[in-house]
Amino acid sequence: MRYQKRKTKQIVIGLGLLGVILFACEFSFAQKSSIYGTAAFFDKNTEQYLVDAGNFELRFRFRHRKIAVTTDQNGDFALSDLQAGRYCLERVKSSNDRIARISSKQIRCINLVAGKGKEFNIMLLRD
């Protein structure tokens, strides 16, 4: 009888610890990340700011998925509820379907950590 109570107690403690571990794992994987920033045009020769890139579609790639976001009138954008990992800017397109040229100095990829947001500003070229 004493053996059975001790065994039951060990099983209950074991199941409780397993529940705590599973909850901790789920919580750490469920944390979402975000990317935010501004897209703007710069002069090709002088690299001086010209104007914000309002109403442009930015397309990012994450693993084998494409994620698109449109900038507001001020060129600002935000992507939220993202998984941790590497996101790469593939292209920038205007509202009239014209592809914008991305500066060669622009970093194209960003690594997101779970639960953190990162600023990612985009330099576009205007001739």
| pTM greater than 0.85 (yes/no) | no
pLDDT band of residue 41 (cuts 50, 70, 90) is: very high
Q: String of b and e for 65-76 (b: at least 16 CB within 10 Å)?
A: eeeeeebeeebb
Residue 76, phi then psi, degrees to nearest 5: -85, 150
Calpha distance 56→69 (Å, rounded): 8
How confident is the model at residue 29, as a pLDDT?
54
pLDDT at 10: 59
The C-alpha atoms of residue 104 and residue 10 are separated, in whole angstroms, by 62
How is the chain split into domains, by residue range?
A: 1-30, 32-126
Interval 54-68 mean pLDDT: 96
Count the neighbouring beta carbons within 10 Å of the beta carbon of residue 10: 10
Handedness of CA 69, 72, 75, 77 (dihedral sign): negative
Q: How confident is the model at residue 3 (pLDDT cuts 50, 70, 90)?
A: low
8 in helix, strand or coil?
A: helix
| Arithmetic mean of pLDDT over the chain | 83
Fold of 32-126: Immunoglobulin-like (2.60.40)
Query: How many beta carbons lie within 10 A of that of residue 53, not counting itself?
Result: 23
> Are 50 and 29 contacting, i.e. CB atoms less than 8 angstroms apart?
no
